[in-house]
Structure 1
Amino acid sequence: MANAELSFAREPSPTSDQKSELAVTLVLLALTAQRVLRVADKFDAWTPTLGACHENVRRWVESHSAHKAVRGWLDVSFLALPPARRFTAHSVVADEHGDLFDVTLGASDPGCTFIRHPGSDEDFFYYAFTPGEHTIEYVPPVQAIR
């Protein structure tokens, strides 16, 4: 993960237009988002670190070679004032069949839908690891609210 963090730091930061475009894309992708099985509390030998989904996924994938990290966004719009939409950077795991599961959240955590990041991992890492950038909010233009 350290190498990934270093590589995104050399890329230029997204412009405000690119961030707005990502927000609109996430709103559209939310229409087909899926619920991911939350399993963090299902394994006796697994203790995730709260608030560290990217690190938890890295640790999981290191010890389960057939699994891979999947980068994306949780739709946490219940935290936004309507009609705004809010998304937070999140990582989950894909098993050998491509089925997704969450090793950070457990059954009692909110069941938010997950949207795969529409860009590269490097693009995602910018948002995930830059302070203040891990949440994307979309507020529709005033003329769209009627």
Structure 2
Amino acid sequence: MYARKHECQIVPRDIIKLDDWQPVQNQCHANVLILETYGQGYSAVHGWLYIDYDGKADFVRFVAHSVLMNDAGKLIDVTPAFAGSEPYPFISANISNTEYEDMLNSLLKKYGTTDCLDYQTKNIR
């Protein structure tokens, strides 16, 4: 993924509500799957938020995240952010839903979390 970091983009946030349902913070995967299932021309796009810590750390972090693509091909982040949080660049995983789920399950088995993957960028002395 690090080799593809140049593909990252800021995805505009837009809260989409259904009758008695609205997206929930920290539930991006569930939020997009509900909206994809509901129809309206949305499809889930799974990938990663890219966090580089402004170059102050010797690693970068990829955080599992899902957004929607509308029928016009525009990406939309429907998961509410915490007040004051900045948007992070997003990179699509470019794999199927099943492959993405398998990847998250592998991370859970290996690291005890599906939330993130750190990539070492500098040698530790």
Give every structure 1 segment of 4 or more consecutive aligned residues whose post-TM-superposition deviation is greater than 4 Å.
42-46
Question: Which runs of 5 or more residues in structure 2 are unaligned?
Answer: none
Give the structure 1 partner of residue 118 of structure 2.
137
Verify the 8 A CA contact 1:37 1:101 in the aligned structure 2: yes
Give the structure 2 partner of residue 4 of structure 1.
none
Cα RMSD (Å): 2.9
Q: Distance in 2 between matches of 1:108 and 1:92?
A: 20
Q: 1:63 to 1:99 in 2, by over 3 A?
A: same
Verify the 8 A CA contact 1:93 1:100 in the aligned structure 2: yes
TM-score (norm 1): 0.67
Verify the 8 A CA contact 2:59 2:122 in the aligned structure 1: no
Question: Which runs of 5 or more residues in structure 1 are unaligned?
Answer: 1-25
TM-score (norm 2): 0.76
Give the structure 1 partner of residue 104 of structure 2.
128
Q: Distance in 2 between matches of 1:43 and 1:124?
A: 26
Q: Deviations over 1:91-127 (max 9, x none)?
A: 1000001100011034843210110104332221134
Q: Distance in 2 between matches of 1:52 and 1:80?
A: 28
Worse overlay, 52-61 or 131-140: 131-140
Instruction: Determine if the alignment matches structure 1 residue 63 to structure 2 residue 42.
Output: no
Greater helix percent: which structure?
1
How many equivalent residue pairs?
118
